A and B are shown apart, each in its own frame.
Chain A
Amino acid sequence: MTSLAIAKCAVTDHTTTEHPSASGPGQTVLRVERLGKIFGDQNPAAVAHTGPDAGTEKSPDGNSVVAAWDVSFDVAAGEAFGVIGESGSGKSTVMRAIAGDHSSTAGSVWMQRRDGSTVDLLTMTASERRALRVDELSVVYQDAAEGLDLGVTAGGNIADRLTAAGWRNFGQIRERAAELLGRTEVPLERMDDLVRTFSGGMRQRVQLARALANRPPIVLLDEPTTGLDASVAAGVLDLIRSLLEELGIAAVVVSHDFAVIEMLTTRCMVMQHGRVVEQGLTDQLFEDPQAPYTQRLVAAARA
């Protein structure tokens, strides 16, 4: 892991001014190496009988699902990397492996930490992972119920993140929560309403505010606008792009939607049946796709 550049970075302070991540541009902050995940029987023989050529991610005996195999990519500081594919392609599996929502079968996920050290996320314990999620690696889920406590107020959901990072002063917490909700365009008068009473678009905005509360250098976004009305989705997308750009946050964006990947990312990869079929610059991948599968996907999206 020598090629991961190391940058010294200030410990989280509690000021409210935003600044880009301390890692310089171009430095790799996340590197996924030959990641693999098999559900069911952990039978390595299943790998050979699955994937795009086999036309399935399920092993012939039906006891193993090779949800992702041999997945590698890296993300530089401030860069957004896209993962695109249909249902069952393995894109969410990859995201959940990085997030630590489930264990992985193979590979490594190297991440550069705030203190400059580099760690393989897959070797960390569950409690170490939880600590990481507080202020170094945030996740925004398609279903807000996964990223938020719906029975708590919008402000409370954010305060929860702030206190986990060591904030103690009530006034400062309120102030920071209000500032974050302002940034994500949630009306301040709704700060003390339960998230359950929020619309889908508003819930995603609260999720974003919570995810960004402690200014993580890396955010994972899993279908962040899927299920929202088109006009609402456009607003949330635009907000995500502005925030990533202004805060210099690196992101992994997982989506089945070409428009989302095109708008948010500069590089991306295409997955099918648990494997990467193509990787490239986002505009090149959409204008000059090489793999037959990608050509079909692009043609379908343009039709």
Chain B
Amino acid sequence: MRETTMTPSSNDVATPTQATVEIEMTKNQLSDESSAVLSVRGLHKHFVLHNVDGRRVESLNGIDLDVRAGEHIALAGSSGAGKSTLLKCIYRTYLPSAGTVTLRSPIGPVELTGLADAKLAAIRGREFGYVSQFLRAEPRRGALDIVARAGIARGMDKETATEAAAVSLRRLHLDESLWDVFASVLSGGEKQRVNLAAGTISPPQLLLLDEPVSALDPANREAALALIADLTATGVAVLAVFHDLDAMDRLASRVVVMRAGRIIESGPPDQVLHHLEGVAR
């Protein structure tokens, strides 16, 4: 097994190559902070289960991570490693226990963990978005309407939003006959495409993607991955969780491997992924 980069530095004897990569990575990951759209520092999360004898579950144990504009970072690691927890702590669906999450928005840097609820609610979706695995179906709303409304919520006018929604749904191969059907009756794969279209229309500068293509068949998955690749190409910063290595290989500019709530490795997909078989799944 070839170890490219390890954080925190492993006890292994560092070969010159490894040391170089390590320094470069550290520089790459931490020093150029001002250009990062998202900077996570010392992020910890533990849950206290009051109804299970007050049990304490440590989920994140000090995460440091930067995501820059036009960068797609894929989080890898076995289930329970803390990947989704990290996304949810950034979006503050989970309340972080310690550390900082700084979003550099056009109005200046905003520290999200300490932001008042109302202020956070006001910038969620607009300045940074979270695309979950599932569409939280709105009972009596059609697909086109759901996607267009997401665009309007991000400042598009109605006409532009409706056009963009149509383009996106077409691109994701959602049959046009389903566009005005209530989304709650669509299949899992159809809902997931509606969800992805809504999450990526007029995209904010940072998108957190949590298994956004998990329910898609190969053809639809292809289309969805292409759409996500375009986000990066247009400068959106993406932090994503995918369960398959192929998606990471194609989309990620950097793969960050997590284990037990820590980042254990980070590097370009071709250096990291090949020895991850069996770990990331």
Show the binding face of A for B, using Cβ within 8 Å. Answer: 25-26, 74, 76, 79, 234-235, 237-238, 241, 266-267, 279-281, 283-284, 287-288, 290-292, 295-296, 299
Q: Which of B48, B49, B92, B140 contacts A284 (CB 8 A)?
A: B92
Distance of A296 Cα from B49 Cα, bound (Å): 10
Q: Which residues of B contact A237 (CB under 8 A)?
A: 139
Specify which of B48, B121, B138 is in contact with A281 (CB 8 Å cutoff): B121
Contact with A288, one of B47, B51, B121, B138 (Cβ below 8 angstroms): B47
Query: Known: A234-B139, A292-B51. Contact between A284 and B95, CB under 8 A?
Result: yes
Check if A235 sits within 8 Å of B93, measured CB to CB.
no
B121 x A267 contact (CB < 8 A)? yes
The residue of chain A having its C-beta at the shortest distance from the C-beta of B92 within the complex is: A284
- Asked whether any CB of chain A lies closer than 8 Å to the CB of B118, the reply is yes
User: A235-B140, A290-B95 are contacts. A281–B117 as well, Cβ < 8 Å?
Assistant: yes
Closest 6 A/B residue pairs (Cβ) = A292-B50, A288-B94, A266-B121, A238-B140, A283-B93, A234-B139
B32-60 vs A, CB cutoff 8 Å, 1 = contact: the mask equals: 00000000000000011111000000000
Inter-chain CA distance A25–B118, complex, in Å, is: 11
With contact pairs A280-B95, A281-B92 given, residues A296 and B120 touching in the complex (Cβ less than 8 Å): no
Residues 114-135 of B at the A interface (beta carbon under 8 Å)? 117-118, 120-122
**B88 within 8 A of partner (CB):** yes
Contacts of A296 in B (CB 8 A): 50-51
A279 with B138, Cβ < 8 A, contacts A295-B51, A296-B51 known? no
Q: Chain A contacts of B92 at CB under 8 A?
A: 281, 284
Which residue of the partner chain A has the closest CB to B130?
A: A283
Please give the distance in Å from B174's CB to the nearest CB on chain A.
22
Which residue numbers of B lie inside 8 Å of A, CB to CB?
Answer: 47-51, 88, 92-95, 117-118, 120-122, 138-141
Q: Is the CB of B122 within 8 A of A25?
A: yes
A-B contact pairs, 8 of them (CB 8 A): A74-B118, A79-B118, A238-B138, A266-B121, A281-B121, A284-B94, A288-B94, A295-B51
Contact A287/B93 with A280-B117, A292-B51 known, Cβ cut-off 8 Å: yes
Q: List chain A residues, Cβ under 8 A from B94.
A: 284, 287-288
Query: Within the complex, what minimum Cβ distance (angstroms) separates B148 from chain A?
Result: 13
Chain A residues within 8 Å of B138, by CB: 238, 241
Q: A267-B118, A288-B93, A288-B95 are in contact. List 18 more A-B contacts (CB 8 A).
A: A74-B118, A79-B118, A234-B139, A235-B140, A238-B138, A279-B117, A280-B117, A281-B93, A281-B120, A281-B121, A284-B92, A284-B94, A288-B88, A288-B94, A292-B50, A292-B51, A295-B49, A299-B51
Q: How far is A297 from B226 in the complex, measured between Cα atoms in Å?
A: 42
A284 near B93 with CB under 8 A, answer: yes
Q: What residues of chain A lie closer than 8 Å to B47, measured between beta carbons?
A: 288
Tell me the complex Cα distance, A292–B52, Å. 10
CA distance A291 to B94 in the complex (A): 14
CA of A279 to CA of B117, assembled, Å: 9
Closest approach, in angstroms, between the C-beta of B85 and any C-beta of chain A?
A: 10
Contacts of A267 in B (CB 8 A): 117-118, 121
The complex places the Cα of A180 from the Cα of B155 at a distance, in Å, of 28
Report chain B residues within 8 Å CB of A288: 47, 88, 93-95
With both chains docked as a complex, state the minimum distance between the C-beta of A20 and any C-beta of chain B, in angstroms. 13
- Which chain B residues lie closer than 8 Å to A287 at the CB level? 88, 93-94
- Compute how far the CA of A281 lies from the CA of B49 in the bound complex, rounded to whole angstroms: 19
- Whether the pair A295, B50 counts as a contact (CB closer than 8 A) is yes
* B118 touches which of A76, A238, A291 (Cβ 8 Å): A76
Cα separation A295 to B121 with both chains bound (whole Å): 22
Closest beta carbon of chain A to B48's beta carbon, Å: 8
Task: Tell me the minimal C-beta distance from B153 to chain A in angstroms.
Answer: 9
Among residues of A, the one whose C-beta sits closest to the C-beta of B138 is A238
How long is the Cα–Cα vector from A280 to B88 in the complex, in angstroms?
A: 15
